[in-house]
Homo-oligomer: A and B are copies of this chain.
Amino acid sequence: MHEKLNEFKQIMAEIADLNTAASVLGWDQQVNMPSGGTEARGNHLATLGKFTHELFTSEKVGKLLEELSSDASALGPDDAAMVRVAKRDYDKETRVPGEFIAEMAMVSAHAHEAWFEARAKSDFSIFRPNLEKIVEMTRQYVQFFPPADHPYDTLLDNFEPGMKTADVQAIFNALRPRQVQLIKKIAAAKQVNNAFLHKKYSEKKLWDFGVDVVTQYGYDWSRGRQDKAAHPFETTFSINDVRITTRFEKNNPIAMLFSTMHESGHAMYEQGVNIEYERTPLQRGASLAVHESQSRMWENLVGRSLPFWEHFYPRLKKIFPAQLDGVSLRNFYKGINKVEPSLIRVNADEATYNLHIMLRLELEIGMVEGRISVKDLPEIWNAKMQDYLGVVPPNDALGVLQDIHWSGGMIGYFSTYALGNLVSAQLWEKINKDIPDLDEQFRKGKFDSLLGWLRENVHRHGRKYDPQDLVQRVTGSKITAEPYVRYLTAKYSDIYGL
């Protein structure tokens, strides 16, 4: 048994190494690679993927997993979790035939190109046949798995292990009317002014300020770095090498600061995983939602809070005296928290963001069930935008074509963004119970108690617990919308005087 466990761990470590190599190549592609390298890099990644897949889905691994899990009670809790998590991954990776995976990769590659063109031309008809194929293949994909309560469960499980469609629907159904109601109240109140955010800001100075902030957060630069990329992301090469990227948008300069905070939240999670899990299936975060809870927490619950800016605003004002001239702390705080129903998800504020997600989830479920045809998507999209947010896209580029996910065959992903928001608030209530003077600490620029709490309760566990179990374990209840509603209501009642 001991020998088998060691053999299993050795193979898992090698798989982790190969996956990491692919991550480094992917990071390089987005951060450094000259344009000429594109084709070759595709080959490198395909070859690495092939070897990793062959190794992981080998009979040897299957047999080891069978034997180890049949005698799981003989394993320690960490080892048992490793075997359980790896077995789930193995099951997913072996159920779907290689030819299907290859075809999906091909279909996605073409769909991605078509989506890119369709969005540029704001012409859904260019993307439509590709998306139809992707939906068809997604429905086939589900058939490779045992029947679930709902076919969408199989897809959701790839991003949020153990989560059921019915659970998400129940959570969102509780949340939707209350968020819609809140937005209506805000719309009726006096709007805040954030014109100062759209002045000219020095990229270099904002970069440096962002670096200072996340250094104070506790992001460990001896085990990470920040680079520029077209899209901000976090990537992990080791618990001791977790990197982030950010970007500067001329027409929205301050976004860079919040992007750095956001990615540092992901990165501190990965830096905080138990070092014993390095090169094992338990390395990395529990799920996309739990990951997003960390990034959203450091970006929003900390980084858009008043106590945070009580500490940092004087410094920011010193760096940008002209841009922030005459802007009081309170008005700055209001400005960075302005609520305004808008068309684009990635630019949405905290109060409206989840509604963008709910819309997508409903469309995805409808397509997977076969109730919604791809051809009707633009119309349904626009109708739901009117319903939830009171705004209607003037064209498909600003509507149904805005997200990259579907073109890559990623159906089942979106809800994790909203769930992440909910989890962040749910953890936040518990944290504030455990650390009653948290605001006071922020006012002094101290974040080590918060990071320490997250390390202890969330980070160190890596993938050991399924997300719902982890949230239950830490907060006493599974994922629920209540804390987020309470958080939003309190925050915006203050800002908008509701």
Binding site for B on A (CB under 8 A): 13-14, 17-18, 20-22, 24-25, 28, 32-37, 39-41, 43-44, 46-48, 50-51, 220-225, 227, 237-241, 243, 278-279
Task: Determine the chain B residues whose CB is within 8 A of the CB of A46 once the complex forms.
Answer: 17
Q: Which of B37, B224, B279 contacts A241 (CB 8 A)?
A: B37
Q: Are A17 and B240 in contact (CB under 8 A)?
A: no
Q: Are A37 and B240 in contact (CB under 8 A)?
A: yes
When A18-B47, A238-B40 are in contact, do A34 and B221 touch as well, CB less than 8 Å?
yes
Q: Are B241 and A33 in contact (CB under 8 A)?
A: yes
List 17 A–B pairs whose Cβ atoms lie within 8 Å, in order of A's numbering. Answer: A18-B47, A21-B21, A21-B22, A21-B24, A21-B47, A24-B28, A34-B221, A35-B222, A36-B220, A36-B222, A37-B223, A37-B237, A37-B240, A39-B240, A40-B238, A40-B278, A40-B279
CB proximity of A219 to chain B, nearest CB, Å = 11
User: Quick one: closest B residue to A15, CB to CB?
Assistant: B47
Task: Determine the chain B residues whose CB is within 8 A of the CB of A35 once the complex forms.
Answer: 222
Give the docked Cα–Cα distance between A279 and B42 (Å): 12
Give the docked Cα–Cα distance between A147 and B382 (Å): 80
Give the docked Cα–Cα distance between A223 and B239 (Å): 32
Known: A21-B44, A24-B25, A34-B224. 20 other contacts (CB 8 A): A14-B50, A17-B43, A17-B44, A18-B48, A20-B44, A33-B241, A34-B222, A34-B225, A34-B241, A36-B220, A37-B223, A37-B240, A40-B239, A40-B240, A40-B278, A40-B279, A41-B238, A41-B241, A43-B279, A51-B51
Of A44, A222, A238, A243, most B-chain CB atoms within 10 Å: A44
Q: Are B14 and A47 in contact (CB under 8 A)?
A: yes
Q: Are A241 and B40 in contact (CB under 8 A)?
A: yes
Q: Are B18 and A241 in contact (CB under 8 A)?
A: no
Q: Are B225 and A36 in contact (CB under 8 A)?
A: no
Task: Determine the chain B residues whose CB is within 8 A of the CB of A43 once the complex forms.
Answer: 13, 17, 279
User: Quick one: closest B residue to A40, CB to CB?
Assistant: B238
Task: Determine the chain B residues whose CB is within 8 A of the CB of A34 once the complex forms.
Answer: 221-225, 240-241, 243
User: Quick one: closest B residue to A51, CB to CB?
Assistant: B51
Give the docked Cα–Cα distance between A25 and B27 (Å): 11
Q: Which of B14, B25, B227 contacts A21 (CB 8 A)?
A: B25
Give the docked Cα–Cα distance between A222 and B22 (Å): 22
Give the docked Cα–Cα distance between A279 and B39 (Å): 12
- A-B interface, 10 closest residue pairs, ranked by CB to CB distance from nearest: A40-B238, A37-B241, A36-B223, A36-B240, A17-B47, A17-B44, A21-B21, A14-B47, A36-B222, A35-B222
